[in-house]
Amino acid sequence: MYCIDYSGYFSIIAPKKCSNIDKGPWRVGDLLVTALGLDYHTSTTMYGVNRGEMIAYTYSWDGNGIVGLVFDSIHKVANDKTLDAIGYRDPSMFYEKTSVANFLPCA
């Protein structure tokens, strides 16, 4: 697994091998990664980790890795019902990867 931990505030966890893991949920130590829903714009899955509720990320299983990030300290994006209700693609909280390089892709 690739693991990014930001001082205990939030974590991003992604698989290194696509074939070795289900598409969620999965556990790394005491951290649980849960699928929060499908991003219909890009056919990617949004994930959240049970550390902090301000960060979620969209993950592409076709070798691109993490392709989007949601940051919102007000609405608690880790709650899938709230996330769906507020329309997380609001540009004030949704950030799409713009560089060509893949970020934490699985192989």
What percent of the chain stands above pLDDT 90?
Answer: 7
Q: How far apart are CA 90 and CA 78, in angstroms?
A: 16
Reported as a single tens digit per residue, the pLDDT across 24-68 is 688 888 888 888 887 777 778 888 888 777 788 889 888 889 998
The string of pLDDT tens digits covering residues 57-79 is 889 888 889 998 888 767 666 56
Question: Is a pLDDT exceeding 70 seen at residue 91?
Answer: no
| Token reading at 7 | 């001082």
Q: Which of 103, 90, 54 is nearest to 74 (CA)?
A: 54
Band of residue 6 on the pLDDT scale cut at 50, 70, 90: confident
